[in-house]
Chain A
Amino acid sequence: MDTAVFRAWIGSAAAVIEANRDHLTQLDAAIGDADHGINLARGFAAVTAALDGADGADGTAGSRPATPGAVLTLTGSTLISTVGGASGPLYGVAFRRAGKALGAAATVDLPLLGEALEAALAGVQQLGAAREGDKTMVDALAPATRAFGKAIGDGAATADALSALAEAAAAGAAATISMQARKGRASYLGPRSVGHEDPGAASTALILTALRDVVAR
């Protein structure tokens, strides 16, 4: 997977987030403050512009990133600068850590992508202090990362490993419906948070599914 694949992934993720903007916002209205889709769509629109070489939000001159790692790092930095809320720093750190893990590699194989996913998960958990079962994006990212690692260990082909990643993320997001939130704004609702899908887990599943779909194309 080369730089073009990673650019295509982030471009596709941006389109999927925009298409699901209202859906994610509705999920957030049920247990949060009704802005998740709006904020992520704004952030990913800025990411798309940044990847095309637009100048940064802070006035720094833009340039098109040349490696997969640089694509993800720029994605993360732009999300931190434009999303706000909890999801800005959390997604920002996830993409930045993943980008750092990829280093200067011109192409990314499955084990290296696995390392990037592990780094992203570690970054999110360190910053947000969430564990699995807390009804957060970790409930999609953690099982997805595990399933991907297992698929690689079993010798799966790229498409199959990415399918395992996407399916585990979607299943993880769906599993948040029955959870009671212990982190973030939804936790204020206590038992009333049960019965609703976590918007952060839902958007994580959308973003990881976009990777599978781009590579399968």
Chain B
Amino acid sequence: MKKLINAPDTVVTDALAGVAAAHPSLVVDVENKVILRAGGPRPGKVGLVSGGGSGHEPLHGGFVGYGMLDAACPGEVFTSPVPDQVLLATRAVSAGAGVLQVVKNYTGDVLNFQMAAELAGDEGIEVASVIVNDDVAVEDSLYTAGRRGVGATVLVEKIAGALAEEDADLTAVAAVAREVNDRSRSFGVALTSCTTPAAGKPTFELGGSEIELGIGIHGEPGRHRGPMRSARELAAVALDAIAADIPLDGELLVMVNGMGGTPLLELYVMYNEVASCIRARGGRIARNLVGNYITSLEMQGFSVTVCGLTDTLTRLWDAPVDTPALRWGR
């Protein structure tokens, strides 16, 4: 294993120390693994807390700042944070208007956030949760843990964060977060596996010309394996899967996301194919995002997220945001 680390045990805290050093706009509690906005919460504003395993950077810590999250709780690599972290973050961002948890639908994340919400509730903090579950690769049935939360998490955090910045109440912020989730779907493809520092070897093995279709973001294998094919064909596979679930017409927000080890050159090739595919199906990409926003360590691959916009969602997407990983309008 070749990685830019000091030791597998300290990779998360070493990275958090780096985040603290690089971003004076953030306050990082390295020991307890909580990232907060500097300056504390603004009275009367709903606090937004998210978190999850490390290894998906910039998610979630890179999205802490004006117009987006108030706090992020990074767990160990690919492991959800513990309730203590989430409780600390919830207390820190509580400013009298309640706290919204943005939780990706993984059993571990859901359980740990649920425990923290109960503890915070016992302390008199009003907590609402939105569970993000946009991954069309997983069948939402009695036979699975339900769809995974993937790319839509970025959109939910941006749009709910914008509404919270306008001093909307907790009910409204939670409602817009759920609306974004309901209107979004994602599909991911891996060209390579990834290696967690603690494991030291790839999570799964892929042959030289094999790819995994329908992956999540933790290096877990996908729904099926197939031969490598062109960007055009892969765009069609991803959008077919998404179109089976939501209409691809009207005004759309489209994110083409890299999994961590994909050159931007290739992501733009993918975006071009995704855009022509959507045009051919009658959709109009009103807003887009191309880059590495929710990653899986050094995995090569991409995910596509499509969200059906409304005028309100477009306005909130365009609202000013100032975080380490997403910044415009301010």
Residues of A within 8 A of B (CB): 25, 29, 32-35, 38-39, 42, 57-58, 80-90, 127-128, 180, 182-185, 187-190, 192
New A-B contacts (19) at CB < 8 Å, excluding given A86-B111, A185-B145: A29-B203, A32-B220, A33-B220, A34-B78, A34-B199, A57-B84, A80-B82, A80-B115, A81-B82, A84-B81, A85-B75, A88-B111, A89-B115, A128-B107, A184-B107, A185-B218, A188-B145, A190-B143, A190-B223
Query: Whole-angstrom distance between the alpha carbons of A185 and B115 in the complex?
Result: 19
CB-defined contacts of A88 to chain B, threshold 8 Å: 80, 82, 108, 111-112
Are A183 and B145 also in contact (CB < 8 A) when A38-B199, A188-B216 are? yes
CB-defined contacts of B138 to chain A, threshold 8 Å: 188
> A-side binding surface: helix, strand, loop or mixed?
helix
> Can you report 6 residue pairs joining A to B where beta carbons are below 8 Å apart?
A39-B79, A57-B84, A81-B84, A86-B106, A188-B148, A188-B220
Are A34 and B82 also in contact (CB < 8 A) when A89-B111, A128-B107, A190-B223 are? no
For A83, give the chain B residue with the smallest CB separation.
B82
Residue pair A81, B220 in contact (C-beta under 8 Å) = no
Contact of A81 among B83, B137, B139, B145 (CB under 8 A): B83
> In chain B between 21 and 68, which residues have their CB closer than 8 angstroms to a CB of chain A?
53
Q: How far is the CB of B121 from chain A (nearest CB, A)?
A: 16
CB-defined contacts of A84 to chain B, threshold 8 Å: 53, 75-76, 79-82, 108, 112
Residue pair B196, A190 in contact (C-beta under 8 Å) = no
CB-defined contacts of B151 to chain A, threshold 8 Å: none
Contact of A29 among B142, B204, B223 (CB under 8 A): B204
Is B221 engaged at the interface, CB distance under 8 Å to the other chain? yes
CB-defined contacts of A25 to chain B, threshold 8 Å: 198-199
Residue pair B223, A128 in contact (C-beta under 8 Å) = no
> B-side binding surface: helix, strand, loop or mixed?
loop
For A134, give the chain B residue with the smallest CB separation.
B143
Q: How far is the CB of B83 from chain A (nearest CB, A)?
A: 6
CB-defined contacts of A87 to chain B, threshold 8 Å: 108
Residue pair B144, A188 in contact (C-beta under 8 Å) = yes
Residue pair B223, A188 in contact (C-beta under 8 Å) = yes
Q: How far is the CB of B27 from chain A (nearest CB, A)?
A: 19
Interface pairs A-B: 6 shortest CB-CB: A85-B108, A86-B108, A89-B111, A187-B144, A86-B107, A33-B218
Are A34 and B216 also in contact (CB < 8 A) when A185-B107, A188-B148, A190-B144 are? no
Residues of B within 8 A of A (CB): 53, 75-84, 106-108, 111-112, 115, 137-139, 142-145, 148, 196, 198-199, 203-204, 216, 218-221, 223
Q: How many pairs, one residue from A and one from B, have CB atoms within 8 Å of each other in the complex? A: 107
Residue pair B220, A185 in contact (C-beta under 8 Å) = yes
Residue pair B203, A34 in contact (C-beta under 8 Å) = yes
Contact of A85 among B79, B83, B204 (CB under 8 A): B79
Query: Whole-angstrom distance between the alpha carbons of A190 and B203 in the complex?
Result: 18
Query: Whole-angstrom distance between the alpha carbons of A190 and B223 in the complex?
Result: 8
Residue pair B111, A90 in contact (C-beta under 8 Å) = yes
Q: How far is the CB of B75 from chain A (nearest CB, A)?
A: 5
CB-defined contacts of A85 to chain B, threshold 8 Å: 75, 79-80, 108, 112
Query: Whole-angstrom distance between the alpha carbons of A38 and B75 in the complex?
Result: 13
CB-defined contacts of A35 to chain B, threshold 8 Å: 76-79, 196, 198-199
Most chain B C-beta atoms within 10 Å of own C-beta, residue among A57, A84, A128, A190: A84
Contact of B142 among A38, A58, A81, A182 (CB under 8 A): A182
CB-defined contacts of B139 to chain A, threshold 8 Å: 190
Contact of B221 among A38, A86, A189 (CB under 8 A): A189
Query: Whole-angstrom distance between the alpha carbons of A80 and B78 in the complex?
Result: 17
Residue pair B107, A34 in contact (C-beta under 8 Å) = no
Query: Whole-angstrom distance between the alpha carbons of A8 and B83 in the complex?
Result: 28
For B199, give the chain A residue with the smallest CB separation.
A34
Residue pair B111, A128 in contact (C-beta under 8 Å) = yes
Contact of A82 among B78, B82, B106, B221 (CB under 8 A): B82
For A189, give the chain B residue with the smallest CB separation.
B221
CB-defined contacts of B204 to chain A, threshold 8 Å: 29
Residue pair A89, B112 in contact (C-beta under 8 Å) = yes
CB-defined contacts of B77 to chain A, threshold 8 Å: 35
Residue pair B143, A187 in contact (C-beta under 8 Å) = yes
CB-defined contacts of A34 to chain B, threshold 8 Å: 78, 196, 199, 203, 219
Contact of B199 among A29, A86, A89, A182 (CB under 8 A): A29
Are A39 and B219 also in contact (CB < 8 A) when A88-B112, A183-B145 are? no
Query: Whole-angstrom distance between the alpha carbons of A97 and B77 in the complex?
Result: 29
Query: Whole-angstrom distance between the alpha carbons of A185 and B138 in the complex?
Result: 11
Q: How far is the CB of B120 from chain A (nearest CB, A)?
A: 14
Query: Whole-angstrom distance between the alpha carbons of A88 and B116 in the complex?
Result: 13
Query: Whole-angstrom distance between the alpha carbons of A167 and B196 in the complex?
Result: 34
For A56, give the chain B residue with the smallest CB separation.
B84
CB-defined contacts of A57 to chain B, threshold 8 Å: 84
Q: How far is the CB of A69 from chain B (nearest CB, A)?
A: 21
